[in-house]
A and B are shown apart, each in its own frame.
Chain A
Amino acid sequence: MKHELRVRVGSVGFRIGSDWKQPIDQLAALYKDYPTPDIPDFTVRLFAQRPWRRFIRPSVMIGGDYMLPDAAPLSLAHGLLAAEMGMNLQMALGQRRYLLLHASAVERDGKALLMTGDSGAGKSTLSALLGERGWRFMGDEFALIDLETGALHAFPRPVSLKNEAIALFEGAVEADRLGPIMRDTPKGDIRHLRPPKDAIARMGEPAKPALLLFPRFGYDPDVREVGEAEIFVRLTQASTNYVALGEAGFGALSDLVQNIPTRAIDYPDTESAVASVERLWAELAE
Chain B
Amino acid sequence: MTDARILTRALVDPATTVAFGAEDWTSLMAMARAEQLMGSLAHRLDGLDHLPEKVAQLCADARQSADHARRQALWEAEMARRVLAPLGEPVALLKGTAYVAAGLSAGVGRSIGDLDILVRRDALDAVEQVLIEQGGWEWVKDDAYDQAYYRDYMHELPPLIHKERDRMIDVHHTVLPLTARPTPDAEAMLADSVELENGLRILSPADMICHSAAHLFADGDLAGGLRNLWDIDRLLRDFGPRDGFWQALRARADRHQLAKTVARALRLAETLYETPLSGDVADRRRVGDALYVRRLLSRDGWGRETRKILRLAFYIRSHWLRMPPVMLAKHLWTKWRKGAG
Contact = CB atoms under 8 A, between A and B. Distances in A.
Interface of A: 1, 13, 15, 17, 37-41, 43, 45, 47, 63-66, 96-97, 244-246, 248
B7 to A, nearest CB: 14
A71 B220 CA distance: 22
Contact of A39 (B26, B61, B71, B303): B26
B71 A246 contact: yes
A244 B57 contact: no
A38 B54 contact: yes
A13 B72 CA distance: 29
19 contacts: A13-B54, A38-B52, A39-B25, A39-B29, A41-B54, A43-B30, A45-B302, A45-B304, A64-B303, A65-B29, A65-B33, A96-B61, A96-B64, A96-B65, A97-B57, A97-B61, A244-B68, A246-B72, A248-B64
B22 A39 contact: yes
Given A17-B302, A41-B58, A43-B302, A246 B68 contact: yes
Nearest to B24: A39
B288 to A, nearest CB: 29
A39 B302 contact: no
B223 to A, nearest CB: 13
A97 B29 CA distance: 16
Contacts of A37: 54
A96 B57 CA distance: 10
B32 to A, nearest CB: 9
Interface string B50-79: 001011011001101100100110000000
A63 B68 CA distance: 25
B25 A244 contact: no
Contacts of B65: 96, 244
Contacts of A97: 57, 61
A1 B52 contact: no
B293 interface: no
A17 B26 CA distance: 13
A38 B61 contact: no
Nearest to A147: B64
A6 B233 CA distance: 36
7 tightest A-B CB contacts, nearest first = A96-B61, A39-B54, A65-B33, A246-B68, A43-B30, A39-B22, A38-B22
Interface centre among B68, B71, B302, by most chain A C-beta atoms within 10 angstroms, is: B302
Contacts of B61: 96-97
B34 interface: yes
Nearest to A45: B302
Contacts of B33: 65-66
A96 B68 CA distance: 11
Contacts of B57: 97
Nearest to A95: B61
A95 B62 CA distance: 10
Contacts of A63: 304
Interface in B17-41: 22, 25-26, 29-30, 33-34
B321 to A, nearest CB: 25
A41 B59 CA distance: 11
B98 to A, nearest CB: 22
Contacts of B25: 39
A96 B33 CA distance: 14
Contacts of A15: 26
Contacts of B304: 45, 47, 63
Contacts of B72: 246
A43 B58 contact: no
Contacts of B55: 39
Contacts of B62: 96
Contacts of B54: 13, 37-39, 41
Contacts of A43: 26, 30, 302-303
Nearest to B30: A43
Given A244-B65, A244-B68, A40 B34 contact: no
A246 B29 CA distance: 24
A65 B71 contact: no
Given A39-B54, A41-B54, A246-B72, 8 more contacts: A1-B302, A13-B54, A15-B26, A39-B22, A39-B25, A43-B26, A43-B30, A244-B68
A66 B58 CA distance: 14
A90 B234 CA distance: 30
Contacts of B303: 43, 45, 64-65
Contacts of A41: 54, 58
A45 B305 CA distance: 12
Nearest to B308: A51
